[in-house]
């Protein structure tokens, strides 16, 4: 009886494998477009080439093979999703539209940042007669070495608030404002402020993706100001843009 069960299981497994192979063949036939629509035949890997990580050795060619395979897989996913929206557009044009959309999105984020700094904050500081300097460059010791100097610098600060902000002065004497339209992990670009501590450090953001209070090391000298608070806001100082001027005037 055991041998019969094994035989039946083996037959079922073979049938399942055949079904999987047939489905893979159909999926490949339906998703892969003609050579001119996507890439050349040599660029597209076959199903047999899509081996697991354990099968691939860490040679240069194998890494390139796996990377190109992943790129092609993602490209097919993009095309499939976009086809559901605009089925009349060919694959090459869909990829061009996708790339253009990504480029516009990145440009939009940059423009939003410029608008926050150069329109909103500059006007706010000028109207309230706040002394400030933009794009202040410091060295590894926190000494101001110039303004908007990108070469041989330790960090460029969005806004420095205070009197007599000059080359040679220490950033320890001033308030620092770091502007992020969205935070995510980009706020960690200011980790220098953990060791070179300004008189006050303010993370200013338009979003609710700012870090948790403990991770940010929130204190009376380190605060987060945002337009949109988290639903579960654990900040000690629950500040918004209405509080900005008061926070820098009391220095």
- Using a pLDDT cut of 90, give the percent of the chain over it: 43
How many folded domains does the chain comprise?
Answer: 1
**Tens-digit pLDDT profile for residues 172-184:** 999 999 999 888 8
Task: Note down the domain range covering 138.
Answer: 115-249
Residue 183 lies in a domain: yes
Nearest residue to 202 via CA among 149, 152, 165, 158: 158
Residue 137 lies in a domain: yes
Residue 136 lies in a domain: yes
Nearest residue to 196 via CA among 224, 176, 223: 176
pLDDT band per the 50, 70, 90 thresholds, residue 156: very high
Residue 76 lies in a domain: no
Q: What does the DSSP 8-state code read for residue 239?
A: B
pTM: predicted TM-score of the whole model, two decimal places: 0.60
Residue 235 lies in a domain: yes
* Helices then strands, each counted (H, E), the chain: 6, 6
Contact 212, 185 (CB under 8 A): no
Length of the chain: 251
**C-alpha triplet 62, 67, 68: angle, nearest 5°:** 100
Residue 66 lies in a domain: no
3-class SS of residue 154: coil
CATH number of domain containing 186:
3.40.91.80
Residue 219 lies in a domain: yes
Residue 133 lies in a domain: yes
3-class SS of residue 2: helix
**Tens-digit pLDDT profile for residues 109-154:** 666 667 788 888 999 999 999 999 999 999 999 999 999 887 767 8
pLDDT at 58 over 70: no
């Amino acid at each position: 009886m055991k041998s019969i069960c094994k035989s039946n299981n083996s037959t079922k497994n073979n049938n399942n494998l055949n079904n999987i192979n047939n489905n893979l063949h159909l999926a490949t036939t339906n998703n892969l477009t003609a050579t001119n629509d996507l890439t050349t035949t040599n660029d597209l890997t076959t199903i047999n080439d899509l081996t697991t990580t354990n099968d691939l050795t860490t040679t240069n060619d194998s890494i390139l093979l796996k990377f190109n395979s992943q790129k092609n897989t993602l490209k097919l996913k993009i095309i499939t999703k976009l086809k559901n929206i605009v089925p009349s557009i060919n694959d090459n044009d869909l990829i061009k539209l996708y790339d253009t959309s990504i480029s516009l999105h990145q440009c939009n984020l940059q423009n939003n940042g410029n608008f926050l700094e150069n329109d909103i904050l500059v006007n706010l500081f000028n109207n309230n007669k706040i002394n400030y300097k933009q794009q202040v460059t410091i060295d590894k010791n926190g000494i101001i070495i110039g303004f908007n100097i990108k070469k041989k610098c330790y960090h460029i600060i969005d806004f420095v608030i205070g009197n007599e902000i000059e080359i040679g002065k220490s950033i320890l004497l001033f308030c620092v404002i770091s502007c992020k339209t969205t935070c995510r992990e980009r706020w960690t670009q200011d980790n220098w402020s953990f060791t070179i501590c300004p008189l006050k450090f303010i993370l200013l953001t338009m979003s609710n993706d700012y870090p948790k209070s403990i991770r940010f090391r929130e204190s009376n000298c380190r605060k987060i100001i945002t337009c949109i608070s988290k639903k579960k806001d654990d900040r000690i100082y629950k500040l918004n843009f209405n509080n900005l001027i008061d926070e820098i005037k009391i220095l």
